[in-house]
Amino acid sequence: MILTLLKREMKVARRNWIGLAIPLLFFIIVVSLFPFAVSPEAPVLQKLAPGVIWVAALLAMLLSLEQFYRSDYQDGSLEQLLLMSSPTSVAMSKILAHWLLTGLPLVILSPLLAVLMQINYGSEGSPHTWVLMLSLVMGTPTLCLLGAVGMSLTLAANRNGLLVSILIIPLYVPILIFGASTVTASLENMRYNGELAILGAFLLIAIVFAPFASGRALKISVG
């Protein structure tokens, strides 16, 4: 059932490709502006790169949360989906589709922005770019899972974007801290296994609890 719902989400996403492109363009533009605003010197950019890329990724994910349930809620199809399948299955399919369409492209784009931010300056052959991608692979699904819960809780509110930001940003901060710390540790040639382990623990906890919590909140908001 989740795969069937996932296929539906992919078909719907094709019609709204502009909405999917906006967070990705935002991600690219924010990171690209920093060399102009701060300094084009490689050592300065390399020092700022982990925080800049991770903050831009977090804001891009936050910007894309409006795509979770809003259109289906407004046209009534969300209620039909909840009647045909369990709320947890609907929430899980939405989360998977959202990460595949938003989180995964951010991960794919990150090496290009890493080059722009001189993340491998003075360390040829180093794994810094791979560490950045790995941190995003482990961090962005957690952002999607937490965002789904926030959107489900505020679905019936008029200005739910503001409410989601208030609810979700405090939960996003630990992911931001450990995601950026992973890349910083790699740049300083220190061990980053601990930071990756914490990101993995956050992801596992979110996978266990977030779909269920989001599904229950959806049922309450729609019902």
Is the pLDDT at 160 greater than 70? The verdict is: no
Residue 75 main-chain phi, psi, to 5 deg: -95, 0
Structure tokens at 59: 């804001």
Among 38, 35, 26, 34, residue whose Cα is nearest residue 63: 26
Taking the model in full, what pTM does it have?
Answer: 0.89
Report, as an integer, the average pLDDT of 70-79.
73
Report, as an integer, the average pLDDT of 4-14.
75
What pLDDT is attached to residue 112? Answer: 92
Report, as an integer, the average pLDDT of 187-207.
93
Side chain identity at 84, as an amino acid letter?
A: M
- In contact, 134 and 196? CB cutoff 8 Å: yes
What pLDDT is attached to residue 6? Answer: 74
Q: How far apart are CA 74 and CA 123, in angstroms?
A: 51
C-alpha distances out from residue 126 to 86, 110, 119, 123, 187, Å: 46, 16, 10, 6, 9
**DSSP line for 135-195:** HHHHHHHHHHHHHHHHHHHTTTSTTHHHHHHHHHHHHHHHHHHHHHHHHHHHHTT---HHH
Q: How far apart are CA 207 and CA 154, in angstroms?
A: 20
209 sits in which H/E element: helix 193-222
3-state DSSP helix/strand/coil percent for the chain, to nearest 5?
A: 85, 0, 15
What pLDDT is attached to residue 126? Answer: 60
What pLDDT is attached to residue 171? Answer: 92
Give residue-wise pLDDT tens across range 79-138. 787 878 888 888 888 899 889 989 999 999 999 999 899 887 656 556 889 999 999 999
Structure tokens at 129: 């770019």
Structure tokens at 23: 């967070």
Count of Cβ atoms closer than 10 Å to residue 191 Cβ: 9
Share of the chain above pLDDT 70, in %: 92
What pLDDT is attached to residue 212? Answer: 92
Mean pLDDT of the residues in the chain: 86
Q: How far apart are CA 200 and CA 156, in angstroms?
A: 32
Per domain, the residue ranges of the chain are 1-222
Give residue-wise pLDDT tens across range 16-72. 777 778 899 999 999 999 888 888 888 888 899 999 999 999 999 988 887 777 777
